[in-house]
Amino acid sequence: MPPATKQTPAQRIAELEEQLALADQGVSKLAQRCLALEQQLAVMEKHESYDNMTLFRLTLYLDCGLGFSEQDTLPAPVSAYSVNNHSVSAIFELPREVRALRIDPGELPCYVAGLTLSDERLEPVPNGALSLDGDKTLFLNFDPQFQVECPGRLPAGTKLSVSYTYYPLQTGSDDTVFYAMRRGIELGQERAAAAAAAADQQRALAQDYGEQLAGQERRSAHLEEQLEAAIAEKEHFRVSYEAVLSSACWKLTAPIRALLGQNK
C-alpha cells in the first residue's frame, strides 16, 4: 500500500472550500423545496377553508312573490368553481314559478367577468358595484349581488344556466393594501361624482343665463318691432299731412282759413 501523500495547506484549504460550496448548494435546494411545499400547503389550506366556509359558492335567490329570503335559494355545488381557470358554471332548475332572481357569486369582494345566463331575456344588474369595461364588474364590499328582473314569470321546471369568471379578493384583518386600494377607488368615485355634480351645476347656470339672455333678446326684438312700427306710423302721418297740404281742397279753403285766423 503506497504511503499517503501529505496535503499541503493550500490543497487542504481548496478541498474544504469545495465541500463548503457543495454543502451550500444542498442547503439552498432544501430551502427551495421547503418554500415550494409551504406554498402548496397554503393553497390547499385556502381552498379547504373555502370549501368549509363556502365563501365563493354561487347561490341563486328566488323571488316567488314575497321577496328574497334564505329559504328560497338554490346553492350551486362548490365544484362549480374551477380553481385552474377561475370559471364558474352551474345549471339550476326552478322548483316553482319565479318573478325575479338574485345571483350571489359568493361572500367576498370579488371581480366578475363575462356573466352569462342561458335565457337572453334576463339581464343581470350589479348592485353597489363598480362597472368596468365591457361585462366586467368589481365588487369592493362583501356579499356581492346581481339583480335580475324577469320580463315575465318563469314557470316551475325552467332550467337556467349561469356562467362567469370569478376572482375572489381574499382579505385579512391586517390586509392594509386591499383596504387602501378599496379606499382609493372609493375616493376616485367620490371625486368623479363631485366633478359631475359641479359640471351639472355649471350647465344649469349656463342654461339659466342662456334663457335670461334669450329673454332679453326677445324683449329687445319686440322693442325694435314697436320702434319700427312707430316710425312707419309717423311716416304714414307725414305723407298723409303733405298730401292734405298739396290737395286742391286745402288750397281753395285757404282764404277762409286766413279770414278765420288759422295758420296754414
pLDDT tens digits for the chain (264 residues)?
455 566 676 666 677 667 666 666 665 665 666 666 566 555 544 544 444 456 888 999 999 888 899 899 999 988 888 878 889 999 999 999 999 999 999 888 888 999 999 998 899 999 988 888 778 888 888 899 999 998 888 999 999 999 999 988 865 655 666 667 777 777 777 888 888 888 888 888 878 887 888 888 888 888 888 888 888 888 887 777 777 777 777 777 777 777 776 554
* 57 in Cβ contact with 143 (< 8 Å): no
Q: Which three cell numbers stand for residue 99?
A: 318573478
The pLDDT value recorded for residue 142 is 87
Alpha helices in the chain (DSSP H): 9-53, 176-245, 248-252, 254-259
* 41 in Cβ contact with 33 (< 8 Å): no
The pLDDT value recorded for residue 223 is 85
What b/e sequence results for 122-155 when a residue is b if at least 16 CB atoms lie within 10 Å of its CB, and e otherwise? bebebeebeeeeeeebbbbeeebbbbbebeeebe
CA trace torsion 202, 208, 214, 219 (10° rounding): -150
10 Å CB burial of residue 85 (0-12, 13-18, 19+) is exposed
